Amino acid sequence: MRSSDVDVLQRLQPLDILFAVVWAGIVGWGLQTGVVRQLGMLVGVYGGALIAGSVYRQGGALLALGFGNQDQPQLEFWAYVAIFVVLFSVIGVIMWRSYPASRVSRGFGTDNMLGAALGAIWGVLLLIELLTILRFYAAVPWKGQETTQLGVLRQIQLSQVAPTLEVVVSPLWQIMVPWFPAPVNPRL
């Protein structure tokens, strides 16, 4: 190993390693399961982000009816996360239940390769969404969570993956930007 390789590895943050493992797992899962299920997961990630980004303020207002207005920013954060998780999970469960009928062929072939490609795409979208959730958490004024928020923000700032998502896969980043919550800047 050259010293430049070691330098790159030493700059990796735990967030980078987690994102790399999650993305590689999704691509491997796509290779195994095929294109139809991965297309459903792509719809799930994008649909969950779209709906969550569109209605999180209303969800926060709804939660404020039960918990009070004093914590409105935190309630909007929880509404955003809950809406995304619920929609993504519902679509994921639907895809799991339809799995026996979703394979194009029984053998390994084009279906698997296309599944891996779609897995790579929705995996990147999921990483962008997870990064957005972390950035939203760090941006929300939250009494008693300042230290944790600063730690999360520092991980994002030192991350090698976060700017890669913004620059290298810019088209995917750009399709997610309209659904970012208001406190999250479209640029890192």
**Sorting pLDDT into bands at 50, 70 and 90, what band is 12?**
confident
What residue spans define the domains of the chain?
14-179
Confidence check: pLDDT of 17 > 60: yes
Residue 38, pLDDT > 60, answer yes
The mean per-residue pLDDT over the stretch 61-70 comes to 93
pLDDT (tens digit, 9 = 90+) per residue, 105-162?
Answer: 667 888 889 999 999 999 999 999 999 999 999 999 999 999 999 999 999 999 999 9
Query: pTM of the prediction?
Result: 0.91
Residue 44 pLDDT > 60, yes or no? yes
Across the chain, mean pLDDT equals 91
Q: Exposure string (b/e) for 33-54, b if CB count within 10 Å is 16 or more?
A: bbbbbbbbbbbbbbebbbbbbe
Q: What's the mean pLDDT in 72-95?
A: 95
Residue 109: the pLDDT is 85
pLDDT attached to residue 178: 96
For 42, the token pair is 């792509």
d(CA 76, CA 59): 7
Band of pLDDT at residue 20, cut at 50, 70 and 90: very high
Question: Is 62 or 103 the better-scoring residue by pLDDT?
Answer: 62
Would you call 187 helix, strand, or coil by DSSP?
A: coil
Rounded alpha-carbon distances, angstroms, from residue 151 to 16, 98, 113, 143, 164: 14, 41, 38, 15, 20
Q: What pLDDT was estimated at residue 185?
A: 93
DSSP 8-state class, residue 13? -
Is-contact 91 43, C-beta < 8 A?
Answer: yes
